[in-house]
Amino acid sequence: MSPRPRKHRYCRWHAGERVYKPRGMAAFGLPVARLEADELEALRLCDLEGLTQDEAGERMGVSRGSVQRTVKEARRKLIAALTDGAILAFPVESTTEPTPPGGPGSGHGGRRRGGPPAEM
């Protein structure tokens, strides 16, 4: 039995990538910790904007549990990159706002069912 398809997350990060590396170390050969768009968005909403996980889930179009797992994984990657001297790569903010759940063109009240997730 294959796992359930990943639900689409509404994120504002998808216009490229920004990279930070430890000072004084050549980038060649360093491990790379890559935050995904949904991980960065969950961190931004919960830690920077101070939203609850329920509120962040509403904004992203996912459940509170999904936000909790996403934030936990993002924090793990971030701390590992900082403590292990890895390159930290993450998406750059887009100049256009994402379509919110239930917005124009969603067709499913903001819920995407089946099929592969949209590219970010």
Measured torsion, CA atoms of residues 12, 52, 76, 36, in degrees rounded to the nearest 10: -10
Using one digit for the tens of pLDDT, what is the confidence trace for 81-103? 999 999 998 887 665 555 555 54
**Global confidence as pTM:** 0.65
Using one digit for the tens of pLDDT, what is the confidence trace for 26-64? 888 899 999 988 999 999 999 999 999 999 999 999 999
Q: CB of 87 within 8 A of CB of 31?
A: yes
Using one digit for the tens of pLDDT, what is the confidence trace for 64-83? 999 999 999 999 999 999 99
Class of domain 31-91: mainly alpha
